[in-house]
Copies of this chain bind each other. A is one copy, B any other.
Amino acid sequence: MSIREEDLFQVRKLEMSDKSKGFLEILQQLTVCNPFTDEEFDARFQDISSYGEDHVICVIEDKESKKIVATGSVFLEKKFLRNCGKVGHIEDVVVDSSARGLKLGQKVVEFLTNHAKAMGCYKVILDCSVENKGFYEKCGFKQKEIQMAMYFN
């Protein structure tokens, strides 16, 4: 029995067992990500889990290949301004190069955006390259400001 496409690519939260399903390899398509040991993965997983709904990492697992083919994260920042408002920060959205064109990126962004909204955020923001601006506009975002960065050695 084959799996229907809508069931094949469902977004869910990251699980401990995803470290053996290609989660690292997906992140490596985004930026520098040296292999981590099981202990390092577990420790960071626990770190992030301790924030509960305030820091959520989601993945899409290809139910046939059992591989992670997309991921993204959102964390909630609690402010005093905007009536003690909350802001969702989306980070590290990436889709496996073999799974482009299936709108998995949009599914991930929608999942993260819906989470921020459900948790009471007044807005959700993210930083992206100029090349990815069109993608995020299709997801309902608008360009706002510029991002500045300082790297430590």
Contact = CB atoms under 8 A, between A and B. Distances in A.
Contacts of A57: 80
A152 B150 CA distance: 30
Q: Which has the most chain B C-beta neighbours within 10 Å: A31, A83, A121, A148?
A: A148
A102 interface: no
Q: How many copies does the complex hold?
A: 2
A146 B148 contact: no
A118 B123 CA distance: 30
Main secondary structure of the interface of A (DSSP, over half): mixed
A126 B152 contact: no
Contact of A143 (B24, B40, B147): B147
Contacts of A79: 44, 73, 91-92
Interface size class, chain A? 35 or more
A76 to B, nearest CB: 10
A47 interface: yes
A89 B117 contact: no
Interface string A67-93: 000000101011111111000010110
